[in-house]
């Protein structure tokens, strides 16, 4: 999974302007983030239409605030620059819950 700081830009409108993206908001200290993290490679493999980008919530706090990310881990989906869905709350998420969210996104 790519990290936001490794991208050419950290402006979400520029980064997501073309294609499908999932922003995965997490933090090193978050036990619920560590719970889902081992499942992320399999999830990425099952959804190759999306580019997954890991966002350290603490490092990009302004972006988290801008997008209304209050709890982590959280997922925000974009298609061609437009937000198309979000799984944003402070609850622990399972692989099945994340995949159900991804399946619910418009094609």
Query: Quick check: is 29 catalytic?
Result: no
Q: How far apart are CA 96 and CA 102, in angstroms?
A: 10
Distance of CA 107 to the CA centre of its chain: 17
Which residue among 30, 36, 88, 102 is the active-site one? Answer: 30
Query: Quick check: is 43 catalytic?
Result: no
* DSSP calls for 54-96: EEETTTTHHHHHHTT--SSSEEEEEETTEEEEEE-SSS---HH
Which residue among 4, 12, 15, 33 is the active-site one? Answer: 33
* Longest CA span, the chain: 34
Active site residues: 30, 33
């Amino acid at each position: 999974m790519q990290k936001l700081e490794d991208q050419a830009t950290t402006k979400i409108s520029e980064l997501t302007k073309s294609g499908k993206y999932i922003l995965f908001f997490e933090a090193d200290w978050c036990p619920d983030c560590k719970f889902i993290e081992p499942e992320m490679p399999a999830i990425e493999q099952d959804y190759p239409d999306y580019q997954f980008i890991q966002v350290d919530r603490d490092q990009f706090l302004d972006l988290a605030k801008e997008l209304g990310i209050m709890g982590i881990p959280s997922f925000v989906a974009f298609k061609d620059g437009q937000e198309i869905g979000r799984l944003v709350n402070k609850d622990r998420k399972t692989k099945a819950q994340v995949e159900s969210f991804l399946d619910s996104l418009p094609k």
